[in-house]
C-alpha cells in the first residue's frame, strides 16, 4: 500500500493526456486498469468482483506471493529476481518491471557527517544483530504506520547504512529499498550479495558487498574496514557507485517504465 500511495503521487505529473491515476480503497471501481496489492490479490471474492466489473487487474508483488493468477491480467514487480521467478512460474500473465521509488519523505542530500557515522534504518525484527555491532552502528527503527516516528530526520546524521537483515521468505521479493535510500543520502551501504537485487545494482566489486557467509566475525570485519576506508579512495569509489545507482530511481525514469506498462496493457 505504501508503494502505491507514493507511486500514484509521483506518476501523475508524467501521465499521458488521456490517463489519470488515483489511489483508492473503492472496490466498486469499473472499466479501469487496477493495480492491487497482496491483501487484495489473495482475496478471491474481491478479485472476482473487480474482474466482473470490467477491470484489467495488475498484481503488484512487492512483498506478497501470488497463489492464484486466475483473475490477474498482469504481474508487476519491483525486483529483478521477482521478474525471473514469475516469468518462469507461469505463462498466463505478462510480467512487468517498474523500479521502486525512494520514500517521498526522504530529501536528497549531498552533505554528510565528516566522520564515519553508521546507522541501521529499518524494522527491529529485520535487523541481523550481534551485540558487538553496537560498538559501530546506531539503530534507528522505522514504523511506516507510526505517525510520531521521525526516523527520516536521522538520515542526515548517517553516511553508512547497515542493511544486513535476518532471513526472509525467498519468494518475498523485496525491492532494494535500503540501497535506494542510502543512494539519495549520499551514503555507502553494507549489504549481503544474496539480499534481493543488491549485487545487481552495486556490482560484484562494490567494497561493502559481503559475499562470505554471514558471521559475527565477518560483519565486524566489514564494519571495521568501512571505518578505516572512510574518506579514502575505496570509500569514494563506493560513493561513486551509489551516485550512479541513484539515477535509476529518479521519478522520470520510473514513470517511463510505469506508463509503458500501462500503454501495453491498454492496447
What are the structural domains, with CATH classification, of the chain? Answer: 2-102+250-266 (no CATH), 118-248 (3.40.50)
- In this predicted structure, what is the pLDDT of residue 171? 64
- In this predicted structure, what is the pLDDT of residue 266? 80
- In this predicted structure, what is the pLDDT of residue 104? 80
- In this predicted structure, what is the pLDDT of residue 3? 66
> What nine digits make up the cell of 198?
543488491
The residue ranges of the chain whose pLDDT is under 70 are 1-5, 64, 143-149, 168-172
Contact 177, 101 (CB under 8 A): no
- In this predicted structure, what is the pLDDT of residue 170? 64
- In this predicted structure, what is the pLDDT of residue 144? 57
Nearest to residue 208, comparing CAs of 175, 169, 182? Answer: 182
Amino acid at each position: 500500500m505504501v508503494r502505491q500511495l507514493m507511486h500514484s503521487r509521483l506518476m501523475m505529473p508524467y501521465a499521458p493526456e488521456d490517463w489519470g491515476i488515483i489511489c483508492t480503497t473503492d472496490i466498486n471501481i469499473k472499466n479501469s486498469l487496477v493495480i492491487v496489492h497482496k491483501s487484495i490479490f489473495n482475496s478471491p471474492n474481491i478479485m472476482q468482483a473487480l474482474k466482473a466489473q470490467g477491470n484489467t487487474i495488475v498484481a503488484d508483488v512487492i512483498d506478497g506471493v501470488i497463489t492464484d493468477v486466475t483473475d490477474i491480467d498482469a504481474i508487476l514487480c519491483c525486483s529483478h529476481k521477482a521478474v525471473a521467478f514469475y516469468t518462469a512460474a507461469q505463462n498466463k500473465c505478462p510480467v512487468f518491471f517498474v523500479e521502486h521509488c525512494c520514500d517521498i519523505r526522504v530529501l536528497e542530500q549531498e552533505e554528510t557527517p565528516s566522520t564515519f557515522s553508521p546507522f541501521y534504518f529499518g524494522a527491529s525484527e529485520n535487523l541481523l544483530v550481534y551485540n558487538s555491532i553496537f560498538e559501530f552502528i546506531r539503530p534507528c527503527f522505522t514504523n511506516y504506520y507510526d505517525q510520531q516516528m521521525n526516523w527520516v530526520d536521522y538520515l542526515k546524521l548517517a553516511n553508512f547504512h547497515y542493511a544486513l537483515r535476518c532471513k526472509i521468505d525467498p519468494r518475498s521479493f523485496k525491492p532494494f529499498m535500503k540501497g535506494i535510500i542510502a543512494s539519495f543520502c549520499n551514503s555507502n551501504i553494507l549489504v549481503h550479495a544474496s539480499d534481493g537485487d543488491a549485487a545487481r545494482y552495486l556490482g560484484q566489486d562494490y567494497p561493502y558487498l559481503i559475499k562470505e557467509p554471514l558471521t559475527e566475525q565477518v560483519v565486524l570485519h566489514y564494519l571495521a574496514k568501512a571505518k578505516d576506508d572512510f574518506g579514502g579512495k575505496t570509500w569514494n569509489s563506493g560513493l561513486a557507485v551509489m551516485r550512479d545507482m541513484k539515477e535509476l530511481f529518479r521519478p522520470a525514469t520510473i514513470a517511463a517504465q510505469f506508463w509503458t506498462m500501462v500503454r501495453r496493457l491498454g492496447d
